[in-house]
Amino acid sequence: MKSARRWFAGGLLALCLFLPAGLVAAQADVLDQACGENRNASVCKDNRSQDVDDNEIFGPEGIMTRVARLISIVSGVAGVIMIIIGGFRYILASGDATNINKAKSSILYALIGLVIAGSSQAIVVFVLNRL
């Protein structure tokens, strides 16, 4: 039951972190389509004048990019530490089946967390490069 709550909380956290980036990407696509039809609209002028490199929020060195990198680094370090701790638990289990299972599950969950963190970083980089 606790693992289901953790998965739910992790999924909710990921949704809260990455949903705004997806909404902004969708808005950029709508603006591109609208500006294709009417280039003289004031919205299109504002959209063209803002260069991606100068964007303080979504640019290559923008706030969202830095936050995404920081979250990826922290989750990667935490995942590696949990794998090491799980390895020590496995070594120190002394043949006890319950302790071995706990160690194996902690290693498995850490690996799953690393995969999720890596794929979420790839998604964020993809979305931020599309803006």
Tell me the mean pLDDT per 10 residues along the chain, length 131. Answer: 61 55 51 63 55 63 82 90 94 91 93 89 79 66
Q: How far apart are CA 64 and CA 44, in angstroms?
A: 23
Q: Could you tell me the residue range of the domain that residue 7 belongs to?
A: 2-130
DSSP 3: H
Q: Domain total for the chain?
A: 1
Q: Which residues of 77-90 are buried (b: 16+ CB within 10 A; e: fewer)?
A: eebeebbeebeebb
pTM of the predicted structure, to 2 decimals: 0.54
